[in-house]
A and B are shown apart, each in its own frame.
Chain A
């Protein structure tokens, strides 16, 4: 049953590349956002938090539609990329990366925010009394204590990006090796009535998803607290 065509393999490889790149970028973007949300006391952290959570409830096609407009030739992002000489982002790999960053942002930010909140103020105060600057304390105390949160957030972000479909169709279309990820490839197989191939690829995705969730539940034990 497990018979994957070269184009299937290409789609899987592209999917992994997309999810990997998005997870790495989101680790860099999501960590400071989560840190800020966990520690600030300003009232407008709530609307910001709600905006970040939007992709959880918004139909992916809606998100994809707005991103398409923004990145298109008449959109602000599109005009900016044109001015930079990059051209247009829709229907490119990097267009997909940007769309996926928005789409998967809550899956990175929320577990990290929870982990940072669980650590609380105290370990950082302790670090300050032991002469660690705030940045020093962040890397030597907050990050190690929030490590389970980082692992959960990365796995969820990776998996969620792998499972993307609606946004990909809106932004990426269906270009082999560029934007045709596994979920789109399955759709194509079904459209073409290639049920055997759809089966194989779907099975791969099913096993992958199960493995991911198993990892998350195994790693979840708890965020460590100071004793």
Chain B
């Protein structure tokens, strides 16, 4: 462009004329500082503690070294082995489930496809904790329902035993399968049907088309899902806690938890293990994102196609059955088993021996600690969701609508907790707040802070999804029509944002009520919350009471979920 240099020079002097929005910069910096404090500081504490080779309870450490890391390989090699075996088994099963379901629901004319697709979201909301409890009731040795029935029909010994490597992997796979399903079906849906059609036009048979075109194109999506699911499995906690600990099978997450329970608590070891887990998971997830973003797969456009459904004839009903079986195993059977258990004095499937009672619910709702825990969880849910949505809305506005230069950094910070396993984050917060001279350790305030921090990615992504959907010109048009900023916000922006804000609120509320990983570390004797209390009850009281508690929690989540579905027709963005 001629005269480009002079032009730029004159422009820079013109730039100086622009009004400076200092308040905007100040607010943004303040938000950046607060979020940075919440997100990064605990991890700094964690790194320091993992290098502590002196007295594990001393802060700051008296001696530094990498002894804690070496000890993992010396003493906990069995734990690493368990983690690997279980994660591999669970990943294989979850991908298998996800792939089969995705193929059925995107590529065949299975009856009731739309409804089935909605139902596939349910296992995700069931939570692995509830699932693990239910499967302990269903397939535990001796008293498990399956084994009770087996004995009734004359079988000897136990038919099934969930307390093993496979059992843990099974429960994990069942509830992570739906994540695999969402990811793989997205890959299948984003394929232009014309790619297959052109193969057929060239004379390729259906089988040949599948082998030479369909599979190679879907494979990257499947690989990506495998990587993602495997990383999740390495950091998964609930199933390993409920099923692994009674079976004395420790994986890395439960080992971290266990070392903080020892006396004196070995925070150094726990920190080292937590950081190692974080680094591995972070590496895998980064690799996964790189792979997704690299765009070497030109088929994966943002556009969603509805690929041509294959006509399966009568076989369609068999496929329908496969889908129903999954829903049955992951949702119906666990809920039914828990319900059945919770309504009895002593859990049995033999109806003639069953004594039905509502006493467990009565106990759950009247027993001091349990009731407090439930009330605390609901309070935290309401509080964190309400305050959180406001702060997150501000963050979303800074990241996506403001002109502030630091907004990229804000986005990175806000999304960071996603990369840290909940459990490790809980541990980091625990250690940080034990040593920060603000006395909120052991109170609900710390839990509230922790919940807010770990919910940041979820809330910001949900709100951002809505904000980005609102075409900027909808707001601009209001201004052109003569509306001031306040009038425009009231009549156009907020009404359009409303469904998104409500959805974000409900998602955060649900996530708070279910929160386990961070809560186990941060709950104090006077600040109990429901999910860890359920785990404690399972370890110390009967399964009947535990089942009642789990169902009360599930019911709360379901109510929120029903409202959510009513409002938004499904928010699945949370999963990927």
User: Are A and B part of the same complex?
Assistant: no
